Structure 1
Amino acid sequence: MPADRRLVDGVRLALTTFTTFPVRSGRIDRAVAGVAISLAPAVGLLLGLLLGALLTGLVTAGTTALLAAAVTVTAAALGTRGLHLDGLADTVDALGSYRSGPGALEIMKKPDVGPFGVAALVLVLLMQVAALTALADRPPAATLAAVVTAVAAGRLGVGLACRRGVPAARPDGLGALVAGTVGRPALVAGTTVVGLAALAAVPGRPWQGPLAVLVALAAVVLLLRHVVRRLGGITGDVLGAVVEITTTLVLLLLVPR
């Protein structure tokens, strides 16, 4: 496949995977999937700009910070069809069980959500609303930068999960399609872009934003080691969990001043 065609199809796949933007998908194979995952932070920047503009716009219009934060979190869930939240719940249910390997993967396939998954959803959403409420009190530019940083970092975490050397838990599915498709240059480029966006996230403390991103990514590396040990590799649900966990950690780490 020509490189330009792979890039176009990769952009389409990135948009349809990480957002609900009405874009028709093109050819899908591992090469295209690698491009899509490498571009995920850029998609996160775009989605973060929209969500950050929503949050700051609501606060500027006189909406309370708490309500604006709740609306923004709701919009984020709608903007991704709730797939990442679903992945979080399924992953936590599997890891919270006493099973490993095929047994844990079977739990992830079930359509219902167990107590561990419910608790994870409630806690993550509460933490996101609380963090955005606190961030909404800052100057609009800093609030916007914080939201952009967190959302983009969540998608950068997916690239980290799909780096070469991390296996897929199943021979089929999204995990098998994207596992091991992202090389070091793409990760370095994505981290640099997100780190630059993070410089404006905390007024007067330009180092805090990039540090928050690095700490969150380090936590993802530890999580992935545990996931590979318990499940045998990554799945689509694991990638959704990585998005939500990374985004939430960055938001929480950006709050203190």
Structure 2
Amino acid sequence: MLDALRMALGTLTALPVPAPSTVDRRVAGGAMLLAPLAAVPLAVLGCLVLTGGDALGLPALAAAGLAIGVVALGSRGLHLDGLADTADGLAASYDRRRALAVMRTGDSGPSGVATLLLVLLVQCAATAGAVRAGHGVAAVAIAVVAGRAAVILCCARGVPSARPDGLGSAVAGTVALPAAAAVLLGLAALAALAPGLVWWRGPLAVLLGLLAAAALLWRCLRRFGGITGDVLGACVETATATTLLALSTG
């Protein structure tokens, strides 16, 4: 479990942690299951920035932008890069092989840039709405953790890798379905305890975020034949944005 936690933190955050002593499919599956736990430092950081912005009297949108920005920096922008690359791959009018090649180039085309800007705009505006509704900290905490939980769906048994190499091949199909269900249900239950929210708002937001990620995952499986590291990042950002949107009102 220590190797799994190190892999989760090292992959999903910019925290300086020792490398795992062993990386195999068992460790990879454990790391993906621990993704919500690995997201806790990012959630705490985002909540602290949001609280500090409120204490300084910053406008809600400015504080929201800083909170979303620090969470992105805390993950090295990895998920945002995956979102842009996945958007370019889905928009490419090529066959599966060439679409995957477009994603691997690392350059962002018009579809990737537009998707990145729109998703960040939704995340910032939704966070600002939650701040004005009086539960901004709870919304950020739930969304950051729930967003990272989307990788559990992407790595569940039966989900193939689109390539024989890369992060996708290392983690695809490594999470057993009972374990995935237990972690996601536990996360929804914890969201019911969030302060400032009616008990059902948190679980509903988590469910909607995961459904949005599942819809994107389904589209990527149809288009690419499996997951890649970019698809994982795209699902994380999609789930985060949807969860925030579900919590953006009073």
- Scaled by the length of structure 2, the TM-score of the pair is 0.94
Match of 1:110 in 2: 105
Secondary structure (helix, strand or coil) at the match of 1:160 reads helix
Q: 2:90 aligns with which of 92, 95, 98?
A: 95
Give CA-to-partner distance per residue, 1:26-81, whole Å, 9 cap, x none: 12221111110010011123321221122122212322212111111111111011
Is 1:156 the counterpart of 2:180? The answer is no
Matched to 1:212, the amino acid is A
8 Å Cα contact 1:56/1:136 also seen in 2: no
Matched to 1:100, the amino acid is D
Q: In structure 2, how many angstroms separate the alpha carbons of the residues matched to 1:229 and 1:126?
A: 27
C-alpha deviation, 1:149, in angstroms: 0.8
Match of 1:169 in 2: 162
Q: In structure 2, how many angstroms separate the alpha carbons of the residues matched to 1:218 and 1:66?
A: 26
Matched to 1:11, the amino acid is L
Match of 1:189 in 2: 182
C-alpha deviation, 1:208, in angstroms: 1.8
User: Are the structure 2 counterparts of residues 71 and 18 from structure 1 closer, same or farther at C-alpha, using a change threshold of 3 Å?
Assistant: same
Q: 1:24 aligns with which of 18, 23, 26?
A: 18
User: Are the structure 2 counterparts of residues 204 and 86 from structure 1 closer, same or farther at C-alpha, using a change threshold of 3 Å?
Assistant: closer
Match of 2:218 in 1: 225
User: Are the structure 2 counterparts of residues 202 and 118 from structure 1 closer, same or farther at C-alpha, using a change threshold of 3 Å?
Assistant: farther
Match of 2:122 in 1: 127
8 Å Cα contact 1:202/1:209 also seen in 2: no
Secondary structure (helix, strand or coil) at the match of 1:234 reads coil
Q: In structure 2, how many angstroms separate the alpha carbons of the residues matched to 1:144 and 1:68?
A: 11
C-alpha deviation, 1:200, in angstroms: 4.6
Matched to 2:148, the amino acid is R
Secondary structure (helix, strand or coil) at the match of 1:113 reads coil
Matched to 1:118, the amino acid is V
Match of 1:242 in 2: 235
C-alpha deviation, 1:256, in angstroms: 2.6
Give CA-to-partner distance per residue, 1:190-227, whole Å, 9 cap, x none: 22332133225584522122112112212222221211
Q: In structure 2, how many angstroms separate the alpha carbons of the residues matched to 1:204 and 1:66?
A: 20
Q: In structure 1, how many angstroms separate the alpha carbons of the residues matched to 2:16 and 2:235?
A: 24
Match of 2:60 in 1: 65
Q: In structure 1, how many angstroms separate the alpha carbons of the residues matched to 2:223 and 2:95?
A: 5
User: Are the structure 2 counterparts of residues 167 and 253 from structure 1 closer, same or farther at C-alpha, using a change threshold of 3 Å?
Assistant: same
Match of 2:72 in 1: 77
Count of matched residue positions in the alignment of Structure 1 and Structure 2: 249
- Bigger mean CA offset, 158-167 vs 40-49: 40-49
- Bigger mean CA offset, 151-160 vs 51-60: 51-60
Q: In structure 1, how many angstroms separate the alpha carbons of the residues matched to 2:56 and 2:182?
A: 36
Is 1:206 the counterpart of 2:219? The answer is no
Match of 1:56 in 2: 51
- Scaled by the length of structure 1, the TM-score of the pair is 0.92
Q: Any stretches of 5+ residues in structure 2 without a counterpart? A: none
Q: In structure 1, how many angstroms separate the alpha carbons of the residues matched to 2:226 and 2:31?
A: 20
8 Å Cα contact 2:33/2:183 also seen in 1: yes
Is 1:40 the counterpart of 2:71? The answer is no
Matched to 2:152, the amino acid is G
Is 1:9 the counterpart of 2:3? The answer is yes
